[in-house]
Amino acid sequence: MIEARSLAKVFGGKTAVDDISFDVQPGKVTGFLGPNGAGKSTTMRMIMGLDYPTAGSVTVNRRLYADHKAPLREVGALLEARAVHPKRTAYNHLRALAASHGIPKERIIEVMELTGLGAAANKRVGGFSMGMGQRLGIAAALLGDPRTLIFDEPVNGLDPEGVQWVRHLARGLAAEGRTVFISSHLMSEMAVTADHLIVIGRGRILADAPMDQVLAGSGRERTLVRADDVDALAAAIGSDGVEIRRPAPGQLEILGMSARGIAEAALSRRILVTELTPRQASLEDAYMELTRGEVEYQSRVIEPTVGEIPSHP
């Protein structure tokens, strides 16, 4: 169980985490989402006692991290910046961590097998791929068999098998009654991993709700349409509040209009509709709606300029 109360962090004049309160419950996977720079890593670092809050507090299993006598046995974390000695072997890295907590050799071997690092036990960490580094970080987090796990971007650099493995691991840990708190930018993966979501933007909480509720709350109906003349149909239904996407030739994805409304518009213009499939909003859609206006680092779509050839120096 993680409990944050009026937690805040200011770096210089910059507010990274702005007076947030939340609980991360045991027995569930809680996803932690938010745009780049929203404050996810800073929050996770404060939970682990690596950043000191400017105001408020955050406890793990009812105590500040620093107040736990054997923190590795309470909470394990994979955080973005790992302090790993590059010349150490994977086994020795884990052995050094285990030694501080009297964790036996058998447990080191167990977590190496569990994370698929058995064959790399005697390889130097400096030569590890990103995915192997992530697996080692997860092995370190699991070492003390803690009740609470915090994974910051655990699937970063993992291959599809690794991504699936993290999903099963997270779900398995939660099923054992542990508290699992995961940040990720991979919405499709989060949608099938998390039971509950906490979404932040610019250091403030935008949503703290079960997955179903976040999906339902995106509000806009979404329908996939195939029709003989999609251009005429798009022109017929285009209006404020209706978003029209073109996922493939001959198809439209329409947001913000009922399937019946679309069918009526098509009928009135005698456009033949061959498919009309209402779809549940994706987590990506729900997330985009929640975080609209909260994105600190906004990307720009580069539109090709017709009839203008860029000059090269």
Ligand X SMILES: Nc1ncnc2c1ncn2[C@@H]1O[C@H](COP(=O)(O)OP(=O)(O)OP(=O)(O)O)[C@@H](O)[C@H]1O
* Interface ranges with ligand X (CB under 6 A): 11, 14, 16, 34, 36-42
Report, in Å, the least distance between residue 41 CB and ligand X.
3
Smaller CB distance to ligand X: residue 14 or 62?
14
Smaller CB distance to ligand X: residue 20 or 97?
20
Smaller CB distance to ligand X: residue 14 or 270?
14
Give 49-56's long-range contacts (Cβ < 8 A, gap of 24+): 50/79, 51/9, 53/7, 53/8, 53/9, 53/17, 54/8, 54/9, 54/10, 55/6, 55/7, 55/8, 55/19, 56/4, 56/5, 56/6, 56/7, 56/8, 56/19, 56/20, 56/21
Report, in Å, the least distance between residue 296 CB and ligand X.
6
Report, in Å, the least distance between residue 307 CB and ligand X.
38
Smaller CB distance to ligand X: residue 48 or 227?
48
Report, in Å, the least distance between residue 136 CB and ligand X.
20
Report, in Å, the least distance between residue 50 CB and ligand X.
10
Smaller CB distance to ligand X: residue 271 or 295?
295
Report, in Å, the least distance between residue 14 CB and ligand X.
6
Smaller CB distance to ligand X: residue 39 or 154?
39
Report, in Å, the least distance between residue 210 CB and ligand X.
22
